[in-house]
Structures are given as structure tokens and as C-alpha cells.
């Protein structure tokens, strides 16, 4: 809980309504989870993919 309070106090979320804080942190967590899942898929199946660079 200390980490959560520190994040809120050191960002522009300080003073915002609770619903806005929760929504913004949920959106941040969703984006991080999506990036992590894409990274895991790239690690697991990246060697089997053929990527062509060109126009």
C-alpha cells in the first residue's frame, strides 16, 4: 500500500477523484500486461517467425 500512496503522491494523480485514480492505474496495468504478454509470445514463438523488411 505504501507503493500505491507514493505513486499517487509523486504524480499528477494527487488530488484527483478516487474513480479517476483507479481508472488510470487500471489502464496503466492493462497496458503493461499487454506488453508483457506480447513479449512472452515473442520469446516463445519468435524463432519460428520469418520477418521480411522491405517496401
Residues 6 or more apart whose Cβ sits within 8 Å of residue 13: 7, 20, 21, 24, 25
Residue 29 maps to a domain: yes
Residue 22 maps to a domain: yes
Residue 54 maps to a domain: no
Q: What is the pTM of this model?
A: 0.67
Residue 55 maps to a domain: no
Write out the residue range of the structural domain in which residue 13 sits.
Answer: 2-45
Whole-number pLDDT of residue 32:
96
Whole-number pLDDT of residue 13:
79
**pLDDT tens sequence across 11-51:** 887 888 889 888 988 999 999 999 999 999 888 887 787 77
Structural domains of the chain, count: 1
Cα dihedral across residues 37, 40, 46, 49: positive or negative = negative
Amino acid at each position: 500500500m505504501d507503493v500505491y500512496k507514493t505513486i499517487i503522491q509523486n504524480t499528477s494523480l494527487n488530488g484527483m477523484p478516487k474513480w479517476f485514480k483507479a481508472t488510470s492505474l487500471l489502464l496503466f496495468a492493462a497496458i503493461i500486461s499487454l506488453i508483457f504478454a506480447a513479449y512472452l509470445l515473442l520469446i516463445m514463438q519468435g524463432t519460428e517467425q520469418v520477418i521480411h523488411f522491405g517496401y
